[in-house]
Amino acid sequence: MGPGADGAQEPQPQLETRWGAVATADGALGVAAGQASQESAEQHALAHCQTHSEGKVCKVLIAYYNQCVAVAWGDAGSLWARSPDVYDAEDMALSNCQQKTTNCDIYYSACSYAERVQ
């Protein structure tokens, strides 16, 4: 940004990183997006997964920040991809899945972009 009307530099916007995570357990999926830390995103995703896992132990599949993630599910399980653009992430996840198994479809996608704080 250039100087303002009075010649002073305008302050640059301050951005804070935002995290997301995906956790799975043999068919169960837990997700989190827009969290302030990796730990928070992983804890939220694990807790969400555990509510659907029927007692199976959930594990974090991926944690990501300031970008998007997509999970594709097929006959032999899930594959994921991340990208700055949700549509690119979905395309990559679907392609990765189709290279490994059949009947692939996007099961989940979301973005956790940095947020302006000032």
Comparing CA positions, the residue from 66, 85, 70, 87 lying closest to residue 29 is 70
pLDDT at position 9? 77
The pTM of this model reads 0.83
User: Quick check: 90 pLDDT over 90?
Assistant: yes
Domain parsing of the chain, residue ranges: 15-116
Beta bridge partners of 72: 79, 106
Q: Report how far residue 58's alpha carbon sits from residue 84's, in angstroms, rounded to the nearest whole number.
A: 26
**Tens of pLDDT, residues 51-64:** 999 999 999 999 99
How far apart are the two ends of the chain, measured CA to CA in Å? Answer: 15
* Res. 1: pLDDT tops 70: no
Contact 50, 29 (CB under 8 A): no
pLDDT at position 87 is 97
Measured distance CA(98)–CA(103) in Å, rounded: 8
According to the model, what pLDDT value does residue 6 have? Answer: 61
Q: Is the pLDDT of residue 7 over 80?
A: no
Beta strand extents in 18-117 (DSSP E only) = 19-25, 28-35, 59-65, 67-74, 77-83, 105-112, 115-116
